[in-house]
């Protein structure tokens, strides 16, 4: 798909729960021009497993590298971020590695962020090996990535 053909993207960050998948499905059915954007979510490549789930549910989606997100925000392609968080604290929302980056991009470009309870992290060695069968690595071989806390003020 060409960038010029994309009218609107719903960016997913984090691992959607079953309830989150249903919400995504409803949004896509309500707006046929809306595509779901699934970033790779390094270093664990969570996006590959999420893309597989979406495909199984018949949800049209676009897979992108994490580095591509800035361009998509700049080009006004991202219309909303669904931030699937791990836990809430008094003044922060804790998500997977890269959460702060995505929320800051959304804030900078005036894109709404909807926080939703996410599912537990998928760490599939199969997902990591899909990209390069020749040079396969296990997720345990990657550098450990810590969860990130996003201040509530950024999301509101």
What would the pLDDT profile of 93-145 be if each residue is shown by its tens digit?
Answer: 999 989 999 999 999 999 999 999 998 766 554 544 555 544 445 555 556 77
Please give the Cα distance from 102 to 91 (Å, whole number).
Answer: 18
Q: Where do the structural domains in the chain lie, given as residue ranges?
A: 3-155
pTM, to two decimals: 0.85
Residue showing tokens 């959460």: 99
Q: Cβ neighbours of residue 71 under 8 Å, at least 6 residues apart? A: none
**Homologous superfamily of 3-155 in CATH?**
Translation initiation factor eif-2b; domain 2 (3.40.50.10470)
Summarize pLDDT for 22-66 with one digit per residue, the tens.
999 999 999 888 899 999 988 778 899 899 999 999 998 999 999
Q: Is 76 left (phi over 0), alpha (psi -120 to 50) or beta?
A: left
**Cα 103 to Cα 5, 92, 112, 150, distances in angstroms:** 25, 12, 9, 8
Summarize pLDDT for 2-22 with one digit per residue, the tens.
778 888 999 999 999 999 999
């Amino acid at each position: 798909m060409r960038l010029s053909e994309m009218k609107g993207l719903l960016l997913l960050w984090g691992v959607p729960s079953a309830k989150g998948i249903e919400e995504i499905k409803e949004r896509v059915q309500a707006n046929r021009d809306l595509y779901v954007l699934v970033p790779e979510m390094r270093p664990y490549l969570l996006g590959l497993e999420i893309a597989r789930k979406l495909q199984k549910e018949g949800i049209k989606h676009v897979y992108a590298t994490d580095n591509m997100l800035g361009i998509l925000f700049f080009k006004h392609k991202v219309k909303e971020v669904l931030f699937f968080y791990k836990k809430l604290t008094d003044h922060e929302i804790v998500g997977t590695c890269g959460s702060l980056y995505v929320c800051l991009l959304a804030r900078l470009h005036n894109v709404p962020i909807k926080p939703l309870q996410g599912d537990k992290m998928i760490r599939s060695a199969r997902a990591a090996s899909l990209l390069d069968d020749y040079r396969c690595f296990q997720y345990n071989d990657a550098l450990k990535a810590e969860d990130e806390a996003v201040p509530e003020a950024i999301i509101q």
